[in-house]
Amino acid sequence: MIKYWFVNILLFFSFFVKGQNTLTLQEAIGIALEQNYGIQIVKLEQLADAAQVYKSNAGIGPTVDWNVGLNLGGNNVNQKFTDGRIINRWGRTINPSTNLSVGITLFDGGRMNATFDRLGLLSEFGMEESKLMIQSTVVQIMEVYYDINRQKSTLNYLNTIIKYYQEQVKITEERWKVGKGSKLDFLQSQINLNAQLSEMAIAENNLKNAKITLNGLLNRSPNEVYDIENVQTSANVYQLETLANLAKTKNRDILLLQKARQISLKQEEQFEADRKPTISLNGSLGYNFNSSTAGFLVSNSNVFSSVGIASRWNLYDGNHRKNQIAISKINTQIIEKQQANLDAQILTDLTLAFNQYRSDEELLAFEEQNKLLAEENLSIALEKFRLGGSSILELNEAQRGLDTALNRLVNAEYNIKISELELLLLSGGLVD
């Protein structure tokens, strides 16, 4: 009689898993937001972008400089006077000085304000990029989590199928031993059971690998042991028009392009400001002292101050500024075309995803019904075979029918969750 040690090990493993820590989908996402390296990097980049937003980085506000200097020198004085006197001596000079200067730009055509606004938009652009990265990670986690659920469901239905094949082996063995059946039927039953055990081994490895993949996304040890919650497959009701309207204000790719357009417009303002004059206010307060041991003047000191207004207006620069403005306007037009193309593409992809979701709803309903029919069909076929009213070929066909129905149902449950995930991703309803 065939030994079922492998089946018993798998059943024990299934029992053991139930006692493990259960990792919910929300917990998995929360761990990733804290520990995923990619998200940590993009958060630091966001902080760096935000740190760039301050007024002096745009040239707004006064600048104050304190200048200090000390000059030391030596000189030789060689003088002859008309009265016959001669002076010939070496001396040194000391000249310390200090001054405080203040400068502030009063008007630059609006360039400073445009630059400051652009810095703020660049920070917001970085924030949108970080949300896009978070969204991508969340999608990966959900896909792997759903795949783990699919592999668990596959193991469950294989356990169900194997019980029928074990029953078939038991019946054919009893018949063969009492002389009422063929050994060929018994051997074929064992072959069929072994094939299912092989499928179970593959599914078990797939489940293990899926869990390792999720551990990697969560930045945990590959050997971290856990179980997951069963994912509910009840279909939610969505309206295409509602999703399309939501995508216009929530889709991350659209929001990113909107920020890029605003940044480009501010770039235009900066170049336009260069056409206008710059007016600045300057002031200084200083002290100067000079001491010399050679010459007629022993020391000299003075305190000075000054206030002035300066203006600069570039009248011609070889059309450089004009060309920069033209290029900036072209870049803005490019972004606007990209945005229009993305809007159309999102609507197309959203419509396709919506139709796929509706189709998956129908398929799920069909497969749930087929499962019930296949179970009833196999139950009847097994009873007839037990009573000798049917052949092993008919029983095998009924068993394959249930195997196919359960496999299709598991895939249908997985597909509808992936379709729903695609809807949420395109509409922007996945990450706030």
Say if residue 298's pLDDT is above 80: no
Say if residue 92's pLDDT is above 80: no
Range of the domain at 361: 5-35+109-276+316-427
Q: Find the range with the poorest average confidence among 90-99, 262-271, 274-283, 405-414.
A: 90-99
Q: List the one residue out of 406, 430, 413 whose CA is nearest residue 154.
A: 406
Length of the chain, in residues: 432
In a domain, 87, yes or no: yes
Residues 19 and 90 in one domain: no
Tell me the average pLDDT across 30-37. 88
CATH, residue 30: 1.20.1600.10
Contact 109, 274 (CB under 8 A): yes
pLDDT for 296 equals 59
DSSP symbols for 83-97: TS-EEEEEEEEEEEE
Residues 270 and 387 in one domain: yes
Say if residue 304's pLDDT is above 80: yes
Residues 152 and 89 in one domain: no
Residues 103 and 113 in one domain: no
Residue 97's beta-bridge partner residues?
69, 288
Output 295 or 106, whichever has higher pLDDT.
Answer: 106
Residues 411 and 332 in one domain: yes
In a domain, 240, yes or no: yes
Residue 196 carries which side chain, given as an amino acid letter?
Answer: Q
Last residue of a domain, one of 312, 333, 363: 312
d(CA 253, CA 290): 67
Residue keyed to tokens 């139930």: 18
Q: What is the DSSP letter of 317?
A: S
In a domain, 46, yes or no: no
Say if residue 19's pLDDT is above 60: no
Q: 329-342, pLDDT tens digit by residue?
A: 999 999 999 999 99
End-to-end Cα separation, the chain, in angstroms? 60
pLDDT band at 36 (very low <50, low <70, confident <90, very high): confident
**How high is the mean pLDDT of the chain?**
87
Q: List the one residue out of 93, 157, 59 whose CA is nearest residue 294.
A: 93
CA of residue 389 relative to chain centroid, distance: 61
pTM for this model (two decimals): 0.80
d(CA 65, CA 233): 69
Last residue of a domain, one of 290, 312, 334: 312
pLDDT for 13 equals 43
pLDDT for 113 equals 92
pLDDT for 7 equals 38
Number of domains in the chain: 2
Residues 303 and 408 in one domain: no
pLDDT for 294 equals 60
Q: Which two tokens stand for residue 203?
A: 């599914």
pLDDT for 141 equals 95
Contact 272, 326 (CB under 8 A): no
Say if residue 305's pLDDT is above 90: no
Residues 178 and 67 in one domain: no
pLDDT band at 6 (very low <50, low <70, confident <90, very high): very low
d(CA 87, CA 95): 23
Residues 223 and 139 in one domain: yes
pLDDT for 11 equals 41
Contact 59, 115 (CB under 8 A): yes
d(CA 319, CA 261): 25
Backbone phi, psi, residue 222, to 5°: -60, -25
pLDDT for 204 equals 95
Residues 95 and 171 in one domain: no
Residues 85 and 118 in one domain: no
In a domain, 53, yes or no: no
In a domain, 43, yes or no: no
pLDDT for 14 equals 44
In a domain, 79, yes or no: yes
Helices (H), 218-251: 240-250
In a domain, 290, yes or no: yes
pLDDT band at 17 (very low <50, low <70, confident <90, very high): very low
Say if residue 364's pLDDT is above 90: yes
Last residue of a domain, one of 312, 332, 366: 312
In a domain, 55, yes or no: no
Q: 120-148, pLDDT tens digit by residue?
A: 999 999 999 888 989 999 999 999 999 99
pLDDT for 279 equals 93
Say if residue 160's pLDDT is above 70: yes
Tell me the average pLDDT across 405-412. 94
d(CA 402, CA 169): 17
d(CA 188, CA 193): 9
Tell me the average pLDDT across 166-194. 87
d(CA 53, CA 228): 43
Residues 85 and 158 in one domain: no
Q: Convert 191-204 to b/e letters by CB count within 10 Å (16 or more is b).
A: ebbeebbebbeebb
Residues 375 and 395 in one domain: yes
Output 235 or 282, whichever has higher pLDDT.
Answer: 282
Say if residue 210's pLDDT is above 80: yes
Contact 69, 97 (CB under 8 A): yes
